[in-house]
Amino acid sequence: MSDSRPTDTPTVKLLIDGEFVESKTTEWRDVVNPATQAVLARVPFATAEEVDAAVASAQAAFRTWRKTPIGARARIFLKYQQLIREHMKELAAILTAEQGKTLPDAEGDVFRGLEVVEHAAAIGNLQLGELANNVANGVDTYTLLQPLGVCAGITPFNFPAMIPLWMFPMAIATGNTFVLKPSEQDPMVTMRLVELALEAGIPKGVLNVVHGGPDVVNAICDHPDIKAVSFVGSTKVGTHVYNRATLAGKRAQCMMGAKNHAVVMPDANKEQTLNAMVGAAFGAAGQRCMAASTAVLVGEAREWIPELVEKAKTLKVNAGTEAGTDVGPVISCAAHARIKGLIETGVRQGATLELDGRDVSVPGYEKGNFIGPTIFSGVKPGMAIYDEEIFGPVLVLLEAETLDEAIEIINANPNGNGTAIFTQSGAAARRFQEEIDVGQVGINVPIPVPVPLFSFTGSRASKLGDLGPYGKQVVTFYTQTKTVTARWFDDETLGHGVNTTISL
Ligand code: NAD
């Protein structure tokens, strides 16, 4: 972090009370292009007063926003989805510049968020209460799903479009106001999406943005006027956020780290499976929370390693802006050093390095944070490359005799984000689906991220809080159920004096 950049480097603004404002902080961080190390902007670490101002604005806006008709709210999101479509290329270009993923993958990042915006436009169908007629003589009971108030979101670097869009559209569409804290590593595409949200008609104060690191996150967790916190990021930080926010009386949902295992059965379609594995392990340089970073090869599938390695070798490592790139740079020099360090540890701890991507060189982008596809076989629990989330283009291979053994390995791993099985046996797939303790399960689908008709989920160390982001579950998360029991007196239902028993 530094404040020594030339003053002509653009600064990322805060959004407070409908205005994009320059932070008064003295703490800044550079936003860096991971393919070139060019400094794209400086992002502020907001002051405590700025966080308070954002929350106060959201609190004031809630008074009117909560009563805005469902249709009026929905129409903003109809307009918003149109604006995102119209700006898709521009959004993808900003995203690739600051995050590194390829342009087509950046469009995918925006598109998966756009699907949530489309869903937010249909929120009326999801926010319906229930009514039971005549629960007692002349009495009806019904529920109202009312917005909570100010909600907050804290997002990671790896999907800087999709994950903010998992959060604020659903919170705002259900009648809440919002304070967003994007990743400080790549906040620029998030800010462009926020500008478009205002253009779509989100009123002043309904959406606010503060930037920063641990201090801002802690201020959000502690703030008495914030009612709910959504977090996506690492297990360590998510656990801290969950504990701190719930201790302060808030609702919290934390979607966290992963070690996603793919089980490859010997009866799987070999060509399809190996293609899927390579794409899911190395796409986005392995920096997807649903990346298939671990494979358990069962029985004769253990013999497929040479073909897997050959396929991985064909991937093109280059800047995300270059046509035909398969694997872009990782997010930062620190991530680059950490991933290389883990590869070294893997070798030291006795795993077999089948493919080594450490020495890749990319002409024209010599300073970029590139690591080529890397594959280890002979990996076992207890090795750092298995026990830690590498979050880079490294695939680790384990072996098992049977499906049951593979299931045992996966269920013994602390993480439960995503998994997949490749097989042509319906019985094996069903057994896997039943026995596996992981949130997202793919059957011949390597990255089974649910569409917004469903909610994202996770089990064990990958998730804290019982309700997932987007979809039906998040409507429950962002609303308070109020149960009304009502009797209206008319001539037929007049009471008969005082009654001190509990009956209606
Ligand atoms: P991260 O946990 O480092 O950062 C996430 C957010 O927390 C950022 O906004 C950051 O500013 C903030 N933060 C960082 N350190 C903090 C601290 N000490 N105290 C308080 N706040 C802090 O995660 P990341 O590196 O940006 O993202 C990668 C991680 O996110 C991986 O573990 C990945 O699996 C996970 N992830 C999970 C999902 C999911 O849905 N389960 C989705 C995407 C990413």
The four Cα atoms 34, 36, 38, 44 give a dihedral, to 10 degrees, of 0
pLDDT for residue 1: 44
Q: Look up residue 368 and give its two tokens.
A: 């970029």
Could you identify the residue written with the tokens 């149960």?
A: 483
Q: From atom 17 of ligand 1, which residue's Cα is the shortest distance away? A: 214
Please write the tens of the pLDDT for every residue from 108-143. 999 999 999 999 999 989 999 999 999 999 999 999
Phi, psi of 366 (to 5 degrees): -60, -25
Mean pLDDT of 16-27: 98
Give the 3-state secondary structure of residue 245. Answer: helix
CA–CA gap between residue 315 and residue 372 (Å, rounded): 8
CA–CA gap between residue 15 and residue 20 (Å, rounded): 5
DSSP string, 345-395: HHHHTT-EEEE--TT---TT-TTS-----EEEES--TTSHHHHS---SSEE
Between the CA of 154 and the centroid of ligand 1 the distance, in Å, is 8
Which of 181, 222, 256, 332 has the most ligand 1 atoms within 8 A of CB, as the residue to mutate? 256
φ/ψ region of 149 (left if φ > 0, alpha if ψ in -120 to 50, else beta) reads: left
Between the CA of 427 and the centroid of ligand 1 the distance, in Å, is 37
91 has pLDDT over 50:
yes
- Selected residue with higher pLDDT from 365 and 7: 365
Mean pLDDT of 148-161: 98
52 has pLDDT over 60:
yes
Burial class (CB in 10 A: 0-12, 13-18, 19+), 287: buried
Give the 3-state secondary structure of residue 340. Answer: helix
Query: What element of type H or E holds 166?
Result: helix 162-173
- Selected residue with higher pLDDT from 500 and 189: 189
CA–CA gap between residue 110 and residue 105 (Å, rounded): 9
Q: Mean pLDDT of all residues in the chain? A: 96
CA–CA gap between residue 215 and residue 63 (Å, rounded): 28
CA–CA gap between residue 259 and residue 390 (Å, rounded): 8
54 has pLDDT over 70:
yes
Question: Counting atoms of ligand 1 from 1, which one is nearest the CA of 155?
Answer: 9
Between the CA of 158 and the centroid of ligand 1 the distance, in Å, is 9
Please write the tens of the pLDDT for every residue from 357-398. 999 999 999 999 999 999 999 999 999 999 999 999 999 999
pLDDT for residue 235: 98
493 has pLDDT over 70:
no
For residue 317, what is the DSSP state?
B
289 labelled catalytic: yes
Query: What element of type H or E holds 342?
Result: helix 333-348
CA–CA gap between residue 170 and residue 180 (Å, rounded): 13
Q: Are strands 440-443 and 394-400 parallel, antiparallel or unpaired?
A: unpaired
Between the CA of 494 and the centroid of ligand 1 the distance, in Å, is 60
Burial class (CB in 10 A: 0-12, 13-18, 19+), 275: middle
504 has pLDDT over 80:
no
183 lines ligand 1 (CB under 6 A): yes
439 lines ligand 1 (CB under 6 A): no
Q: Are strands 226-232 and 251-255 parallel, antiparallel or unpaired?
A: parallel
256 lines ligand 1 (CB under 6 A): yes
**% of the chain at pLDDT higher than 70:** 98
Q: How much is the ipTM here?
A: 0.99
pLDDT for residue 495: 62
Count, residues in the chain: 504
Query: What element of type H or E holds 396?
Result: strand 394-400
469 lines ligand 1 (CB under 6 A): no
State the number of CA atoms in the 13 A half-sphere of 95 facing the CB.
27
The answer to whether 456 and 255 have CB atoms below 8 angstroms apart is yes
CA–CA gap between residue 196 and residue 326 (Å, rounded): 29
CA–CA gap between residue 171 and residue 178 (Å, rounded): 7
The answer to whether 375 and 354 have CB atoms below 8 angstroms apart is yes
Mean pLDDT of 478-491: 94
Between the CA of 236 and the centroid of ligand 1 the distance, in Å, is 8
Please write the tens of the pLDDT for every residue from 467-482. 999 999 999 999 999 9
Which of 112, 155, 234, 338 has the most ligand 1 atoms within 8 A of CB, as the residue to mutate? 234
The answer to whether 244 and 221 have CB atoms below 8 angstroms apart is yes
Phi, psi of 207 (to 5 degrees): -125, 125
Q: Look up residue 463 and give its two tokens.
A: 């998730």
Looking at residue 231, its amino acid is F
213 lines ligand 1 (CB under 6 A): yes
190 lines ligand 1 (CB under 6 A): no
Please write the tens of the pLDDT for every residue from 401-448. 999 999 999 999 999 999 999 999 999 999 999 999 999 999 999 999
279 lines ligand 1 (CB under 6 A): no
CA–CA gap between residue 409 and residue 297 (Å, rounded): 12
> pLDDT band at 2, cuts 50/70/90?
very low
Reduced DSSP (H G I as helix, E B as strand, rest coil) percent helix, strand, coil of the chain, to 5: 40, 20, 40
pLDDT for residue 17: 98
pLDDT for residue 502: 82
Between the CA of 270 and the centroid of ligand 1 the distance, in Å, is 35
157 lines ligand 1 (CB under 6 A): yes
pLDDT for residue 8: 86
Please write the tens of the pLDDT for every residue from 252-307. 999 999 999 999 999 999 999 999 999 999 999 999 999 999 999 999 999 999 99
Please write the tens of the pLDDT for every residue from 229-239. 999 999 999 99
The answer to whether 11 and 22 have CB atoms below 8 angstroms apart is yes
Closest CA to 433 of 452, 412, 448: 448
Please write the tens of the pLDDT for every residue from 306-346. 999 999 999 999 999 999 999 999 999 999 999 999 999 99
**CA 393 to each of CA 186, 262, 272, 386, 416: distance values in angstroms, whole numbers, following the listed order:** 20, 15, 20, 14, 20
CA–CA gap between residue 73 and residue 483 (Å, rounded): 24
